[in-house]
Structure formats: C-alpha cells, structure tokens
Structure 1
Amino acid sequence: MDSSSPLVETLRRLLADRGLALGLQLGNGRTETLGSGPAAVILRLPRPEAALKLLSPDLGTLARAYIHGEIDVEGSALDIVRLAFELAHAGSAHRRLLNRVTGWRLWRHNPASDRRAIAHHYDVSNDFYRLWLDPEMVYSCAYFPSGSETLEQAQQAKLDLICRKLQLEPGERFLDIGCGWGALLLWAHRHYGVKATGVTLSEQQFNYARQRIRELGLEGAIDVHLQDYRHIPGQGVFDKIASVGMFEHVGIRNLPVYFGAISRLLTDGGLVLNHGITTRTGDEAVRDGAGDFIDRYVFPDGELPTMAQAAAAMEDQQLEVFDVEGLRPHYARTLLHWVERLDAHRDSAIRLVGDRTYRVWRIYMAGSAQAFEYGWISVHQLLAAKRAVKGFSAQRWSREHMWRSPAR
C-alpha cells in the first residue's frame, strides 16, 4: 500500500472532513500526516490489510485491532481514544447499534457465572493493580472536593464521604459488599470504630485483604469472606451497608434479588449506600461496538442500569432513598490518573500481565474516561434507609455531616 492508494485517500478525506489529523506510517517506514493540523497520534500498520479496519470503523473494531497488534499507535492514551471516538462517530451513519446495556441477559448472573466474571477482571494480578492504583488499592471512583487533590487524597476523601453519609458510629456492624482489597473496611474501622465485614468473589482480593487484616492485628475487628452476596446469612444483622462499584456486575433483572438481600440484612432504619456506574435513559451507552469489546475483554456480563432503575429497585425492597449524588466528573478524572500511571509503568505492566492485557486496560480506561466526559455513562451514590415499622430512620435532618473535612 502506498500513499496514493484508495484506502489512504478515503482515510485522508474522512479525517479532513472532521478537522482531524493522523500520522500514518506506511510499509516503507515513512510517516505521512493525513487530515488537517498537527498529528498527536501516529498509526502504524504492520500489514496493508489492516487499513480496512479504519474504513467506517466502530469503537469495538478499533479496540480489538489495537489489542491484537493488527494496528499500533504512538501517542497518549487520551489522544488515541479521542481520535478513535471521532473516527467511529464519522462512520456511525453506516452502522447500527449492536447491543444495549439495558438488554437483559437471561442466561447470566448465577453464582457460578458471576464468580467466573469477577475472576476474569479482578484476579489479573494484585501486583499489576498496585502499579497504578493508590496505596490503599481503591478501585472505584475517587472524590475530588476541590478538584486539586492527588489521587491518594481523593480516594481517602471518597472513603470518608461514604462513612459520613452512612453516619458510622463506634460499635456498629458494617458490611461492605464487593469489598475489593479491603480499603473501606480498614478506613471505617480505623476512623469510625465499626465492626466491619466484607465479602468478595475475587480470590486474589480476598487473600490480599485477609493478609492486611492479619498484619495489622485486626482479626477480631474485621472479617472478610470469599462469598456471594446472595449467600450472606442472617436477618437484620448489619446496622450499615455499603456497596461500591459492585452492582454493575449484578445484572438488571437481578436488581430485586440484590437489593432484597441488602434489605434482609439491614436492621430496621439502617442505612445503605450504593455507589455504582449508571447509564442514561435513551442513550446509546454501548456505543459503536464498545460494549461488545468491554463485555468480551474487560467486564464479562456487566450491565448498567439507569439511576432511575436503581432507585426504583431500592424503593421496591423497602429501601427509602434519601440522598442521590452524581460523581461523573470525578470518575473521568480518576480514570485519567489511572491510565497515566499505567502508561508510566508500561514495561512493568507488560512483564506482569503481558502486552495484550496491558493494551486492554489502557484502552479500556482511556475510553471510559471519555465516556464519562461525554456523559454517555455516569456514577451515582444512592443513600437509602430500610423502612421501619414505625418512627423514623437514623437519617439526620441536615446534610452537614456529609461535607466536613475528611478524617485523617
């Protein structure tokens, strides 16, 4: 293929029409700038037929070509994803949406399939996640009160915001569903004196959290179980419950089961905070094949409800929603921190998990940052109380307790 080929000419026109520029390295090793303006991204085509991926592409096609090495790119992850979004948008008139996140997948979300899906994403390697997460290993949207916080400060602020919203008090029984590597459990016990219990389906997260608890001598104060949320025993055994970044794995048709389990486990008047990614009503949140890519390579069986669906499902299980906060800009910034850190540790990441997994996480996180930036998806914290037979819940009259300075 040379610079005058029909494929290159088509790509040149597509870029020019969108006001974009791309550096294209052809088989002879020479780089030619296509489109208009300076090129922040250089695309290399190991084989001429790879150029076909760029004609009327969708996001899934571009992502798969990148992670399988059919195309290679030079530039920041954010610039690469922005260009991919624009190319996909240019060709979107010729394609139909392949999937919707609101579609029910009736054959998924039983305990065995959920365990496999969680293992696929979270059991990659603790050392891999440690490269780009904060020291507490918090793998969910951070909270930037002023916008100038470091990632470490923002994750601490998020942990404390959850504890303040739940009005944690010394001696209370606190459950974290999908506890990850245990950061919220440790923070809640250390700063609020609760007796904390966590459950996760990830063996690597479970082993890591249990080891940290043992090293800190907190076995009597914090328990962690390798357990499905549906199998947590008891009735009214917890005063407060948090679920952070977990209900995306539940499945829309299982929201009644999920919130039903929470309602069963809460005391009357007890509080629950559900923190999770949501999609927008009527939006094509699985854009141009991106959903298929994420489902196959990143989050198998993941489904995003709307915020209204989540709130309605909570209310149907006698969980009265008191407070809703959207954190969409916070997750965009969190993801940018993560992908910048991952890129800074590229060689170490590839040694730990291989080039393909490195590429998957790089393009996934950069793409997700753009999806939050564009408003295709969001993230909400919903605070609710289990309805008591009579009287009021523990919810306070004022919201002032939510906004004081984080615990240190």
Structure 2
Amino acid sequence: MNALSHLAASLVDRLAVPIALEWPGGRAGPANAPVQLKLREWHQLAALLMGRIGSVGNAYVRGELDIEGRLRDVMDVAAELAHSPLQTAPPTPWTRVLRRARSRRLHQRHRDAEQVRFHYDLSDDFFALWLDCRRVYSCAYYQNPAMTLAQAQEAKLEHICRKLQLQPGQRFLDIGAGWGGLLLWAAEHYGVQALGITLSRDQHAHVQRLIEQKGLQGRVEIRLLDYRDLPPTERFHRIASIGMCEHVGMANLDGYFVQLWQLLEPGGLLLNHSITAGSVHSNPMGAGLSEFIETHIFPGGELVHVSEQARSLSACGLELLDAENLRPHYARTLWDWSLALESQLGRARELAGETAVRAYRLYLAGSATAFERGWLSLYQLLASRPDGNLGTGELRGAQCGYPFNRAHMYREPPLPMFCGAGQATSV
C-alpha cells in the first residue's frame, strides 16, 4: 500500500494539470486543484496509475468514485494518463479472424436492432436537451468559427445536399435518418422525393410526427427498417449514409457498400459520412476507451480506418470522387453538446437517470478530446456508381453528374439560417 501511495504522489506531481487525489487512507496534490478525484477503493488507484482510463470511467459511471472539475481539465488529465491510446501494431492473423467472427455475431439483424435502440431510444427529451433544435446527431460544419451549434448543423445539412447536387424530383435515400434533420432539409429546400430508414422506434415516431406537421406526406417517408431489408427493386438517384457505417460492423462493410451500389441508379451519387479509426490497422483504442464506449454508449459499434472504407466502396463498384476530413469540426460539435448537457444536469438526471448522465458526460467530453488529438477522425466520402456512358457529365468520361470540381460545394450567397440563434458555442 505504501508503494502505491508513493507512486500516486509522484504521479500527481508530474501531471501538467494539477489534481487533488484522495484514496482510502491517503491523499496527494493541492486541495484547491482544478480537478478533484475521490477514490473509494484501492484497486481504482491501481487502475489510475496504470493508465486504464476506461476502468476509471466505469467506476465513475457506477458511482464508485467522484470526479469534480471543468471537463476540459478532467479530459486533459485523462489524456495525459492514457498517453496515446492508438494501437499502431498490425493485428495478428488470428486476431483478425477473431475480430471478424465477433463482428458477424454482433451484427445480425436482431442484435443490430437491440443495439441501436439501447442508444437512441434512451429518451428523446434527454437528447433534445443538448442537441440543436433539429436534433442533428452527427458532426456539424463550422464554416465560420463564430457559428452557433444550430447554424453549424444547418451548414452541414446544406453542405451534404450541395455535395450530392440534389435536384427537384430526385429520389433520395437517407440511411440511418435519425430525428429527420437531413431528410426534411433535403425535401423542403431541394424538392426531392425522400425516404429515410431507422431502427429506432423513438426516432421513427418523431419523424413521422414532423412529416405530418409539415404537410410532407407523399413527399417524405420514414420507415422502421433494417438497411438489409430494403427491396432490391427500389432505386435512388442520391443516397446519404450519415453516422451509419459505425453500426454496420467491419465484417459487413463490403456487403453494405454492395447494397448501396445496388440501390443507386447508374450515374447516381452516394455520400458516406462517418467516424473512422485513428489507427491505419483499425485497432480499437487502448487504455480501455473503446470498451467504455461499447459498454455504456454504443454497443456493437465498430470503427475502421478511412483507407479501409475507401478500399471497400471501391471494391464494390463505386468510384470515390471526393474525401473531406472534418475531424476538428467534430471536436467542436462534441464540446458544444457537452456544454449544453452540463448546463442542464438536473433535468438530464430526471429524464435519463444518474448512471446515463455520468456516462454521457464522459462520452461527450472524452470523444471531443479524442477528435482533437487525432485518436478518432470524421470523413465525408463522396462516390458515384459510374453509368458506363462516356458522354454523361460536363467532362467526357465523367460517367455521372459530378463536375469533378468543388465549385458547387462552396457557391454564394451565404447559407440561410433558420434555427437556434444565440446558443452558447464554447466551453
């Protein structure tokens, strides 16, 4: 025990952010430190000293230790203790076999539905506390650093629609449509015939209500449906997959892009927007961080490196046209969500319970830190299904409507902003 106490005191002295650390029978660090950790068990001190941040987070969620302080400071301490959680060594062949077997087991239809509902059906009112007014639950796009969260989310919706070059009358599919932000934006601003699918009962009911309130019946449809159950006879001019690949599983990735190829009209465009692994080998993050997320937030979630996504969609007959890294945009988005949640913790506990609130406090701030430090990334990949006609498009050989330049993505005038002026945007 004395050796552990000595190591704890030495660790506290080395940290860049001062912390006050208490454990059974001892303490270290200045009493007025900006971060306060109060441990109730000796094994928690051992986990802390070994950099097992996921284990420390689990204990916090269970109420077995307390953390006080500004979350930015808390996460700076956690990042220092974890060092770099990126596992850069390639997995062994046996490890790859085990991962694929586990991925297949986790991503059967019934398990995917259970896993999605575990997360997204927690409480609509809870998510509404800290998302923007459209409840867009994916990386925002801060074209201007002064943008509010709501403005940046609208800019993201517009950015996606411009990349896809949506036109009135086109059939548009939104896979994993969430609370309908993109689906409704595309229908209202671009006149498309829009279909969204989701496995979340709460999200499905919410979007159905919005369709009725806005009088969009006949133009917009939302289905409670697994992507694998979309009829192969249906075809779409444009497809968006926003925050969906994370739930597909690496074992199903090729099958997913094959399905999108089949659903896409020849010459059509696909935009895949998803979180990607920081390691080129798609290794889970170390220090117990990936396990924490899977246990408390996204069961069954799996990330691959962007190079693996590019390989997969290309192997399935899609042509990669444009890749854009929005990593720091997601860090900013997550800090904005974190700030909004921190401002309403009492109401959040009433809606979701203490355990869920503790998990989401660490998840939002911890994920923001992971994106800032490059442990995770966020890519938008724009791809086409070439139609084989060399005369299609502005340039000979395009074989789709993509102009092979980015002028349409950044055209003037400035975007209209309709929602949520005045929200706080920094922590």
Calculate the TM-score normalised by the size of structure 1: 0.91
Deviations 1:7-35 (A, max 9, x none): 4332110122344421135679xx96517
Aligned pairs, number? 397
Among residues 271, 288, 296, which one is paired with 1:273 in the alignment? 271
1:158 deviates by 0.2
Partner of 2:166: 168
For the aligned residue pairs, the C-alpha RMSD in angstroms reads 2.5
Q: Which residue in 1 is equivalent to 2:408?
A: 401
The alignment partner of 1:163 has SS state of helix
Do 2:282 and 2:304's aligned partners in 1 also have CA atoms closer than 8 Å? no
CA separation of 1:407/1:259 partners in 2, compared to 1, >3 Å: closer, same or farther?
farther
Change (3 A) 1:69 1:394: same
Please report how far the alpha carbon of residue 164 of structure 1 lies from its aligned counterpart in structure 2 after TM superposition: 0.2
Matches within 5 A, 1:249-264: 249-264=247-262
**Residue deviations 1:94-131 (CA, integer Å, cap 9, x gap):** xxx9x99x942231211111001101111100000000
The answer to whether 1:212 aligns with 2:221 is: no
SS in 2 for 1:107: helix
Paired AA for residue 22 in structure 1: I
User: Which residues of structure 1 form unaligned runs of 5+?
Assistant: none
The 1-side partners of 2:416 and 2:86 are apart by 48
The answer to whether the 8 Å contact 2:167/2:192 transfers is: yes
Residues of 2 paired with 1:251 and 1:58: CA distance?
25
Q: Does 1:312 align with 2:306?
A: no
Q: 1:141 to 1:236 in 2, by over 3 A?
A: same
Aligned position for 1:372: 371
Is 2:31 the partner of 1:24? no
- Residue by residue over 1:110-168, the C-alpha shift from the partner in whole angstroms, topping out at 9 and shown as x without a partner, is 11110011011111000000000000000000000122211000000000000000000
| Corresponding position of 1:56 | 50
Match of 1:197 among 186, 195, 198: 195
Alignment correspondent of 2:8: 11
Q: Give the deviation of 1:403 after TM superposition.
A: 0.9
* Contact kept in structure 2, 1:178 and 1:200, CA below 8 Å: yes
Q: 1:217 to 1:174 in 2, by over 3 A?
A: same
Aligned mates of 1:81, 1:236 — CA distance in 2 = 46
Change beyond 3 A, Cα 1:173–1:91? closer
- Report if aligned partners of 2:39, 2:45 keep a CA contact under 8 Å in 1: yes
In the alignment, the residues of structure 1 paired with residue 177 and residue 16 of structure 2 have an alpha-carbon distance, to the nearest angstrom, of: 45
CA displacement 1:335-386 (0-9 Å, x = unmatched): 0000111111100010111111001111011111111111011000000111
Give the conservation status (yes or no) of the 8 Å contact 1:131–1:345.
yes
Tell me the residue number matched to 2:156. Answer: 158
Aligned residue in 1 for 2:422:
none
For structure 2, the 5+ residue unaligned runs are: 391-398, 418-427
Q: Normalising to structure 2: TM-score of the pair?
A: 0.87
Structure 1 pair 272–359 and aligned structure 2 pair: CA distance change class (3 A): same
SS in 1 for 2:106: coil
Structure 1 CA distance for aligned equivalents of residues 41 and 244 of structure 2? 41
Residue of structure 1 equivalent to 2:72: 78
**Which range is displaced more, 41-50 or 307-316?**
41-50
